[in-house]
């Protein structure tokens, strides 16, 4: 009996839908990780990752584990016991960074904002002033748990001026909205394959700039994780090809194919596509009186955190969408559980068809769950928006 | 331009060939990691992994990274700073365990044997007596770097009597030769998907017995790796389904399909197949005067480390096999570089056809590389052996 999963339209917080070419790449027969053909594939992957991160960083490669491992890789390689890390927390993933930094033995200084709001540069400036010499300032560019879109440039300037390293989580932004690693002076950045890159989950693209690499070279202690020790991984992915682990071949096929698709579409065109579909969805929701959770002016194109109308049963709506339409959306996390739905329009999932489907499905399901609405209004508003009216 | 890798017959140290059903599973469309259909798949995976490990351990699941991460997961979860780990080293992977245990802040006591030899129980007994209370004794069941097959039962009894935890690397044995976790009193065991399980590389099946779980519960400090913190991963894979990371969906499809194929074949039949093809290969090599490196009586069925005849150029032979026949075998690692080839007959790669092909390819290539042989003798000897003569 072969595995045949149900057909789903993935509009949750990830994974997103995957292009048939990526699925075909996954099914290609394996080759060895030291095969010359695989080494050529590694080189092309590094090249296309650099283009996607908008960086010239030599140390740009996929970590052989999911995005959370990319987060851990950045922190365990840059932090040594007793060093100070300023970590910005306005959602689940900032909280996770704190947990990891503490496991590194770092002294963690929090900069907090309400979930759904962004971190203000002034707050980071104060923390930099008060904390003594910080080694790292870390924050989340696109908070998947809240839908908030964090501006980076001003904070980057403050971090650079304080001679700290700027670590950015771009898991839900890379490939869906601008992530300009070099221009924005990001020292270390990581992402995941299963969001706007539209690959399967399993790898974490990562890039380290010259200042971060310098910090690696100057470490006094070994990195606490052997598997995530970037100095070793760098040599495995570099010209020396020093054996470290066995690269997950099929996942690397898939990532490369996904990156080729991004190159073919063009990054700017892809960003514009994500923006257009987000705006249409938002217009449609507004037409039936439903708003987004994240602060105005800071709402992600890639992940919409939708306020659940009062009295509507969170889980009942999600179950109905899945059962009736094969449509997956996500629930809220932590304090936002039961308060928001998370509707991703990422990578291959960001299409006009999916915007219209999501809205018409909600128009069918919400009235049964006690929310009165003007049927057709959401779809109509979104379609007008898509038509440029 | 889609990715089309060259066709290879994978007889290296891994990855091995993958069954078409596993490739098809890889190419199935994605579903969400919280989808009820994915949760059913997780349950079946745990069930079949328990059968493959021959264990009733509740905590049996795949780590979402390659086998080296499984090694790290065992050690970082069981060791706390200042505790003693006795680590047996007779090849690359024991050496790697030492590196990881030291990164845990453990006090490491080495038990060594020459590469290609096995660890004697007396040596472990001495270490247990001299080291004070050891928390962990770790060794490699099937040393992929040497081809040595380590007996476990007697050492297990010593470890249990000393009230330490027995950690076993079964990366190159699970699914290819007996790994009897419960009967042999193994407390923690890990493997990889890309060897005798014949899946793509990328996941690390792992099992923790009651004594290892008890040690987890009693930890005084947090596990130094967030990504590999088994108490968190256990809740993600358990009934609570507490969000940890996003499981690599496609890899999990592939592992499940590979485990179903193993169940259909039957573990005993699979072990017998691996033994038969190893014996035939060995007989064929012996007929042209070529021997194995590992100690007699302790040669793995799954991975043959072949002594390179004097004067023969290691790399030239491997390149010729790859270029002329699409046949991959591995080179030696560390002190065995240039001294051995590593020829794996694992999972789907362990077939009569591959034994005959490998030998006839060697019969073609070796004479060009300066090794005189009686053409046809190797294939003839192997075929006789396969025919049961």
Establish if A315 touches chain B: CB-CB under 8 angstroms: no
CB contact under 8 A, A68 and B201: no
Establish if A190 touches chain B: CB-CB under 8 angstroms: no
Structure tokens at B177: 């030769």
Chain B contacts in chain A segment 32-71 (CB below 8 A): 32-35, 37-38, 41, 64-69
CATH for A266-386 (3.40.630.30, 1.20.1080.10, 3.90.1150.10, 3.40.640.10): 3.90.1150.10
For residue B386, the distance in angstroms to the closest alpha carbon of chain A comes to 27
Establish if B28 touches chain A: CB-CB under 8 angstroms: yes
Find the residue in B nearest to A4 (Cα). Answer: B28
For residue B3, the distance in angstroms to the closest alpha carbon of chain A comes to 6
Q: What is the pLDDT of residues A311-321, one digit of tens each?
A: 999 999 999 99
CA nearest A173: which of A60, A53, A57, A78?
A53
CA nearest B83: which of B117, B131, B18?
B131
Give the number of other Cβ atoms within 10 Å of residue A120's Cβ: 15
B19-264 fold: 3.40.640
Find the residue in B nearest to A22 (Cα). Answer: B27
Structure tokens at A21: 């070419």
State yes or no: pLDDT of A1 exceeds 80: no
Give the number of other Cβ atoms within 10 Å of residue B4's Cβ: 12
Run of H or E residues at A138: strand A136-140
In angstroms, the CA A243 to CA A241 distance is 6
Residues in B closer than 8 angstroms to A245, CB to CB, are 66-69
Establish if B100 touches chain A: CB-CB under 8 angstroms: yes
Mean per-residue pLDDT over chain A, rounded: 97
For residue B120, the distance in angstroms to the closest alpha carbon of chain A comes to 28
In sequence order, the 6+-apart residues with CB closer than 8 A to the CB of B133 are B84, B162, B163, B164
CB contact under 8 A, B248 and A23: no
Name the CATH architecture for the domain at B267-386: Alpha-Beta Complex (3.90)
Establish if B225 touches chain A: CB-CB under 8 angstroms: yes
Chain A contacts in chain B segment 227-246 (CB below 8 A): 227-228, 243-246
In angstroms, the CA A123 to CA B11 distance is 58
Predicted local distance difference test score (pLDDT) of residue A372: 95
Residue by residue, pLDDT tens for chain B (389 residues) are 689 999 999 999 999 999 999 999 999 999 999 999 999 999 999 999 999 999 999 999 999 999 999 999 999 999 999 999 999 999 999 999 999 999 999 999 999 999 999 999 999 999 999 999 999 999 999 999 999 999 999 999 999 999 999 999 999 999 999 999 999 999 999 999 999 999 999 999 999 999 999 999 999 999 999 999 999 999 999 988 999 999 999 999 999 999 999 999 999 999 999 999 999 999 999 999 999 999 999 999 999 999 999 999 999 999 999 999 999 999 999 999 999 999 999 999 999 999 999 999 999 999 999 999 999 999 999 999 999 86
The widest CA-to-CA distance across chain A, in whole angstroms, is 64
Residues in A closer than 8 angstroms to B236, CB to CB, are none
C-beta separation of B328 from B354 below 8 A:
no
C-beta separation of A144 from A93 below 8 A:
yes
CA–chain centroid gap for A168, Å, is 10
C-beta separation of B356 from A266 below 8 A:
no
Chain A contacts in chain B segment 273-302 (CB below 8 A): none
CB contact under 8 A, B29 and A37: no
**ipTM at complex level:** 0.97
The angle subtended at Cα A69 by Cα A347 and Cα A301, nearest 5°, is 25
In angstroms, the CA B254 to CA B267 distance is 18
CB contact under 8 A, A66 and B248: yes
Residues in A closer than 8 angstroms to B79, CB to CB, are none
Percentage of chain A surpassing pLDDT 70?
Answer: 99
Predicted local distance difference test score (pLDDT) of residue A2: 82
Structure tokens at A211: 């200042």
Which residue, among B37, B71, B75, B202, would best test binding to A if mutated, counting the most A CBs under 10 Å from its CB?
B202
Phi, psi of A379 (to 5 degrees): -65, -40
User: How far apart, in Å, do the first and last CA atoms of chain B sit?
Assistant: 51
C-beta separation of B33 from B157 below 8 A:
no
The angle subtended at Cα A357 by Cα A67 and Cα A300, nearest 5°, is 40
CB contact under 8 A, A32 and B12: yes
CB contact under 8 A, B250 and A202: yes
Q: Where are the alpha helices (DSSP H) in chain B?
A: 20-26, 36-53, 67-78, 92-103, 121-130, 153-161, 210-217, 230-237, 249-265, 267-287, 314-325, 352-368, 377-386
Domain map (residue ranges) of chain B? 19-264, 267-386
For residue B122, the distance in angstroms to the closest alpha carbon of chain A comes to 30
**The total number of residues written for chain A in this structure:** 389
CA nearest B149: which of B292, B282, B298?
B298
In angstroms, the CA B166 to CA B317 distance is 40
For residue A27, the distance in angstroms to the closest alpha carbon of chain B comes to 5
User: How far apart, in Å, do the first and last CA atoms of chain A sit?
Assistant: 51
C-beta separation of B359 from B284 below 8 A:
yes
| Alpha-carbon distances of A285 from A135, A358, B197, rounded to whole Å | 43, 10, 48
| Pair type for strands B165-169 and B107-112 | unpaired
Find the residue in A nearest to B30 (Cα). Answer: A17
In sequence order, the 6+-apart residues with CB closer than 8 A to the CB of B292 are B147, B282, B285, B299, B304, B305, B306, B307
CB contact under 8 A, A17 and B27: no
Tell me the three state secondary structure of residue B306.
strand
In angstroms, the CA B48 to CA B30 distance is 22
CA nearest A76: which of B103, B108, B107, B71?
B103
State yes or no: pLDDT of A389 exceeds 70: no
In sequence order, the 6+-apart residues with CB closer than 8 A to the CB of A383 are A280, A356
Run of H or E residues at B111: strand B107-112
Q: For the CA atoms of A122, A172, A99, B241, what is the dihedral angle to 10 degrees?
A: 140
Find the residue in A nearest to B245 (Cα). Answer: A68
CB contact under 8 A, A35 and B3: no
Residues in B closer than 8 angstroms to A222, CB to CB, are 102-103
Q: Where are the alpha helices (DSSP H) in chain A?
A: 20-26, 36-53, 67-78, 92-103, 121-130, 153-161, 210-217, 230-237, 249-265, 267-287, 314-325, 352-368, 377-386
In angstroms, the CA A242 to CA B294 distance is 24
Residues in A closer than 8 angstroms to B34, CB to CB, are 12, 330
In angstroms, the CA A139 to CA A205 distance is 17
Query: Would you call A1 exposed, middle or buried from its count of C-beta atoms within 10 A (0-12, 13-18, 19+)?
Result: exposed
Phi, psi of A110 (to 5 degrees): -90, 140
Residues in B closer than 8 angstroms to A225, CB to CB, are 72, 76, 103, 224-225, 228
In sequence order, the 6+-apart residues with CB closer than 8 A to the CB of B304 are B147, B278, B281, B282, B285, B292, B342, B343, B344, B345
Q: Can you state the angle between helices A230-237 and A67-78, rounded to 10 degrees?
A: 120
Average of per-residue pLDDT across A353-361: 98
Chain B contacts in chain A segment 320-349 (CB below 8 A): 322, 328, 330, 333
In angstroms, the CA B244 to CA A158 distance is 32
Establish if A23 touches chain B: CB-CB under 8 angstroms: yes
For residue B112, the cross-strand partners are B89
In angstroms, the CA A19 to CA A175 distance is 14
CB contact under 8 A, B29 and A5: yes
CA nearest A342: which of B303, B243, B45, B66?
B243
In angstroms, the CA A242 to CA A237 distance is 8
C-beta separation of B187 from B207 below 8 A:
no
A20-264 fold: 3.40.640
């Amino acid at each position: 009996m072969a595995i045949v999963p149900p057909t789903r339209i993935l509009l949750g917080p990830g994974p997103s839908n995957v292009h048939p070419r990526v699925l075909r790449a996954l099914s290609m027969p394996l080759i060895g990780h030291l095969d010359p053909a695989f080494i050529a594939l590694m080189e092309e992957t590094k090249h296309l990752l650099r283009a996607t991160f908008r960086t010239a960083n030599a140390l740009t490669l996929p970590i052989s584990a999911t995005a959370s491992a990319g987060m851990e890789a950045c922190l365990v390689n840059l932090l040594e016991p007793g060093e100070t890390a300023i970590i910005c927390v306005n959602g689940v993933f900032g909280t996770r960074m704190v947990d990891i930094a503490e496991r590194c033995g770092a002294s963690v200084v929090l900069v907090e904002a309400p979930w759904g709001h962004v971190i203000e540069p002034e707050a980071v400036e104060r923390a930099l002033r008060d904390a003594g010499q910080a080694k790292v300032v870390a924050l989340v560019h696109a908070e998947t748990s809240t839908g908030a879109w964090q501006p980076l440039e001003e904070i980057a300037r403050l971090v650079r001026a304080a001679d700290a390293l700027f670590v950015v989580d771009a898991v839900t932004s890379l490939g869906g909205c601008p992530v300009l690693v070099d221009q924005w002076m990001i020292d270390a950045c990581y992402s995941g394959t299963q969001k706007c890159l539209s690959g399967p989950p399993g790898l974490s693209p990562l890039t380290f700039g010259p200042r971060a690499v310098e910090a690696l070279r100057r470490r006094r202690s070994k990195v606490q994780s052997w598997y995530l020790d970037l100095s070793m991984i760098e040599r495995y992915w570099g010209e020396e090809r020093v054996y470290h682990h066995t690269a997950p071949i099929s996942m690397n096929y898939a990532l490369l194919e996904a990156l080729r698709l991004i190159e073919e579409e063009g990054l700017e065109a892809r960003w514009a596509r994500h923006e257009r579909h987000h705006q249409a969805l938002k217009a449609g929701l507004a037409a039936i009186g439903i708003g987004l959770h994240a602060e105005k002016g800071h709402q992600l194109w890639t992940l919409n955190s939708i306020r659940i109308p009062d009295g509507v049963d969170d889980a009942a709506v999600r179950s109905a969408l899945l059962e009736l339409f094969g449509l997956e959306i996500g629930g809220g996390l932590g304090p936002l559980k039961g308060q928001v739905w998370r509707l991703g329009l990422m990578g291959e999932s960001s299409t006009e068809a999916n915007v219209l489907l999501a809205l018409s499905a909600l128009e069918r399901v919400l009235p049964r769950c006690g929310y009165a609405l003007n049927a057709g209004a959401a779809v109509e508003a979104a379609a007008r928006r898509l038509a440029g009216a």
